[in-house]
């Protein structure tokens, strides 16, 4: 299964997302903000990034753009999760999920993105 980087400043939501993904057979790597997430993405062989949109230091869209602009990471799929409406940047974000979302929706999306990763 996939190695998924979860980036969220809310530790309870991050742990709940990690538990959900791990119950689906995925491996979860955690980061508390976009800057930390970018460091993790560079340091590990990540298959998919699931990031919250609104965070301190570097938000989810900034993280997605940083990943897209890095030649070593540019093919890495990024799922942007938010409780507020988000503007999807087709070049930086692979998918958007609006909170709350169904567990099955996240699992299916992560699996699909990991399988179709370039």
3-state secondary structure of 79: strand
Q: Is 58 helix (H, G, I), strand (E, B) or coil?
A: coil
115 phi, psi to nearest 5 deg: -70, -35
Over the stretch 30-59, which tens digit does the pLDDT of each residue have? 999 999 999 999 999 999 999 999 999 999
**Other Cβ atoms within 10 Å of 64 Cβ, number:** 27
The residue with tokens 């990031």 is 51
Domain ranges, ordered by start, for the chain: 3-115
Task: Please tell me the pTM assigned to this model.
Answer: 0.93
CATH superfamily of 3-115: Response regulator (3.40.50.2300)
- 13 SS3 class: helix
Is the predicted pLDDT of residue 90 greater than 90, yes or no?
A: no
The band of 92, judged by pLDDT with boundaries at 50, 70 and 90, is confident
């Amino acid at each position: 299964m996939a190695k998924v980087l979860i980036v969220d400043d809310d530790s309870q939501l991050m742990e709940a997302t990690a538990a959900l993904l791990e119950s689906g057979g995925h491996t979860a790597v955690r980061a508390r903000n976009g800057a930390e997430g970018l460091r993790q993405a560079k340091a590990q062989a990540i298959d998919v990034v699931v990031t919250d949109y609104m965070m301190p230091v570097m938000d989810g869209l900034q993280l997605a753009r940083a990943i897209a602009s890095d030649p070593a990471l540019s093919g890495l799929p990024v799922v942007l999760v938010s409780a507020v409406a988000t503007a999807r940047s087709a070049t930086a974000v692979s998918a958007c999920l609006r909170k709350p979302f169904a567990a099955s929706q996240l699992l299916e999306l992560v699996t699909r993105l990991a399988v179709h990763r370039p």
